[in-house]
Amino acid sequence: AGTESPMSSPFCCVAVLSRENHPMWVRVLEPHAQDSQEGTSEEPPQELEEEDPLRFHFLVHSALDVFEERDRSNAAAADTLCDTYCGLLFPVEDFVVYGYTTKTKLKLVAVLEDAAYLDAAMQEFFERLHVLVMNALGNPFHRPGNYLRSAKLDASLDALIRELQGRVYLKK
């Protein structure tokens, strides 16, 4: 970090949607929580106020339309069953929504502040998030079909965001 000024995290919300398009895990983060925690980077980002999560849940659910449209357009290429970084799904208001699907049809969604981001860094974020989610789902105490609650997943996401936050921006 050296003499650089601390950057706030551009991540606002991260979600996992099931094969049936049900939310399995939705984590809403305050975009600028990192600024207020300059000396205490071990603490997780603070949660937003009550009315804000509803807006992010709406954006996450709006991403389903884009996933379904891409599934229909890729139906002809059914043998390309692999993990897919979908990239920018859509911009809306002050946010951009990125997505990733797995071969088991889980959908990973990230809502970020409106800015230009490096696709390679976002792809790395989703690939690593996918591993974290699979580890959490593989927990023998997690009941399939239930909402995913995992303190370890939350902490791992916080660490991943702190690690990547300076690398996701498109350099000018």
Closest residue by Cα to residue 165 from 31, 44, 39, 59:
31
CA separation for the pair 100, 88 (Å, rounded): 10
pLDDT at 5 (0 to 100): 37
What mean pLDDT comes out for the span 81-101? 87
What mean pLDDT comes out for the span 136-151? 90
- Residue 132 has which token pair? 């974290």
pLDDT at 83 (0 to 100): 61
- Is the pTM higher than 0.85? The answer reads no
| Cβ atoms of residues 114 and 95 within 8 Å | yes
pLDDT at 48 (0 to 100): 45
Residue 152 pLDDT greater than 90, yes or no? yes
Specify the range with the lowest mean pLDDT, choosing from 16-25, 123-132, 160-169.
160-169
